[in-house]
Amino acid sequence: MKQFIITENDAGQRLDKFLKKLLPNASASLIYKLNRKDKIKVNGKRQDNEYKLLTWEVVKVFLVDSDFETLTKKEAPKLLETREKFDTKNIVYEDGDILVINKEPWINVHPGDYKTKESNIISQVQDYLWDKLNSLTFKPSLVHRIDRDTSGILIIWKKKDILTQLVADFKEHKKVKKIYYAIVLWKLPNKSWTIDKKLLRIEWAKNEDKVQVSDKGQTAITNYKVLKEYILKTPSWDKVISEVEVEILTWRMHQIRVHLASIWCPIIWDNKYGDKPFNSYISKHFSLNRQALHAWKIEFFHPRKNKIQSLQAQIKKDLTNFVNKL
């Protein structure tokens, strides 16, 4: 017999859902059978599969050790050498409810992106937080995400009730502000401006851009403000390079990249919407090999603290080094 005490991160879910997470190798029919045959007790009583678990309740599973091990056994991670540990120097802020990190470029946020077995943010964070969490089934989760080769701020929630509230806020764009830092080619038409162009996502794009400006698309609004301008002298002609602060009021796929490219000021080293010959020049002479986009600042309502939280992720060295060379 195994005994489990329900924590706040495990409470509120149906008994059968809890058991499926606790016994990942058990089928739904087996879980129902175990409950039907009184192999599952909540506070000493049999409960329906739909029963919502409460904090501090005791769940007992009446299985012999060998059966329990079979139903909970996990495969050892493959390609262990590619799994990097989470670097704590990238922590922006941490409390009992949230972990905010400054993501490095060229790392996936979720496992399975691009069908690779490379390390990923969520696996690293779960390894880092595992001993700090008192939960049987809940794993730390991302509220939002950024592109693989974009750096910057990411919020990971440790508590299920907080995660539920924040997901709703982010989905509805309530009490949330996201500001990015970008380095773009050419001089922008105004020192500050709003780009209001609808964006259409092409699901099965092959020889065309995946996101396009189109009247058939969804509303997309981007505010930008020029921070500084530089003159870069090249063998062919002089080019203006601009540092820009960007706020997105809608959160469409590739919104910043497509909107800036649509006004002829693409993000430097954007390999999809940018100026490819100039990107090659930048790689050769400045050793910059990823899009110059950084999730810089974020504001959101912290439900537990009952106040707006404002955080900022330091701009990564590859971008600051590029600007310093300019």
Amino acid at 85: K
- Of 147, 270, 275, 318, the active-site residue reads 147
Residue 147: active-site member: yes
Q: Do 322 and 110 form a contact (C-beta atoms < 8 A)?
A: no
Q: Do 5 and 137 form a contact (C-beta atoms < 8 A)?
A: no
In 3D space, the residue among 25, 120, 132 whose CA is nearest the CA of residue 77 turns out to be: 120
Residue corresponding to tokens 């010959």: 277
Q: Do 170 and 143 form a contact (C-beta atoms < 8 A)?
A: yes
CA dist 108 to 2, 48, 119, Å? 37, 40, 7
CA dist 292 to 111, 133, 195, 241, 289, Å? 24, 35, 19, 11, 9
Q: Let me know if 50 is exposed, middle or buried by CB neighbors in 10 A (0-12, 13-18, 19+).
A: exposed
In 3D space, the residue among 122, 92, 93 whose CA is nearest the CA of residue 107 turns out to be: 122
Cα(147)–Cα(46) distance, rounded to whole angstroms? 47
CA angle 294-116-87, nearest 5°?
Answer: 50
First to last CA, the chain: 67
Q: Do 157 and 166 form a contact (C-beta atoms < 8 A)?
A: yes
Rg of the chain (C-alpha set): 24
Q: Any idea which residues carry the catalytic annotation?
A: 147
